[in-house]
Chain A
Amino acid sequence: MAYKFDATVRYAQSHDWARLEGDLVVCGISDYAQHALSDVVFIELPSVGDTVAQGDIYSTVESVKAAEQVYAPVSGEIVAVNDDLEANPELINEDPYGAAWIIKVKPSDAGELDALMDAAAYESLLAEHE
């Protein structure tokens, strides 16, 4: 299976991605994760103003196969939530790195982002899995 990788994001072991945009970190789930879930039918979103620590569960994504938790790749305060996903959960399958961003976080520790994997490291992690 050929998965899509995005050179502008950094990846967590939990198949979540994070991208630095200005002073915010945008978060979502990887193309591999959406493939593994199959067709997404529902997403439970957090609220703006919630704070998350790295590794915290901040959202649940449900497909016809499974419900999976989504883990925060970095710590900080949630300053934006992608409400479009509630009405259009299929965006997660169609455009996981773009239109299907889930939250934007004001990071409390910039070092966390640097410690995540780049696309090449994540790709070799998946190759080990398969």
Chain B
Amino acid sequence: MSIVPSAKPAGALYWPVQAHRNIGVRALFLVVLAFLVAYGVLFPGLFTASGFAKFTQSWFPLALVAMAQAILMLTGGISLAIGATVSLGAVIAATTMAGPLGVAGGTAAVALTGLGIGAATGFIVVKLRLPAIVVTLAGSFIIGGAALLILPRPGGVIPAWLSDLLAGDTPAAFMLLVVIVVLWKLYLATPLGLSLYAAGENPVGAYRSGVPVDAARVAAYAISGLLSTGAGLFVAAQTGSGDPVIGTAFTLNSIAAAVLGGIGFLGGQGTMRGALAGSLLLSLMISVMFFLGFTPVAQYVAQGLIIIGAVAIPQIRKVQK
């Protein structure tokens, strides 16, 4: 990308490249903005401090799993184990934080578990050349089973002050998201991050050009695991306890958010800001349906229809061009 020989300083290429990447998601940004405005008009509480805090908190875990799925899809992978990993993160947080490990130790345990699971999955998929869909589907049973072993039924405790900090009337969730996005930008500037798109778009070409394809893909799985267990920690803090099946819905929602955000299944297509916008759109739709008094059943039906529609419309327009 920025290796193109040019008389201009390297920085001058940055914005044109970014603008080019924005073309695909511009319409999405407009839709999200329209939804946000509509939401703000319908529920003016959004513009108070606590309303904003609550809104970002309901979005935050979905944003994390959307990023977790998007980073895999950018490298040409996929995970059907995100939901189980979220559950595992939640039960580990709920069982360790009130114990001798404390909040710091519990957070470390959650993070290390996520990194470890992700790296192991990545190793199996990349080095042993097994199809990602099947590995992560089998993995979801192993991870979900581990969550059931740690906490057979909902329980455990998250210290009250942590719940207040993360899920109280503070914008902590939003701040964390900003920090994560900045970290993502920094990661993209490292050699592994730069290899990410290349490894997804054209693995053979990238490999022959000396790009560390395998390392980039394994690292993507590790980061994805970390983001998933992190989402689990947050969900546990929101509810104040752990639940071994709380993350189940996140598998479909993570894929839906990433695809709504313009991430392609073939790797190397899409941007993280698109995935974040996709997760925001999905979160808004779920909130609006909840406030409009849809029953959970009607929400299922509507969600299925909306996802198909949102994915199909840009495709149809592309074909018509």
A and B interact physically: no
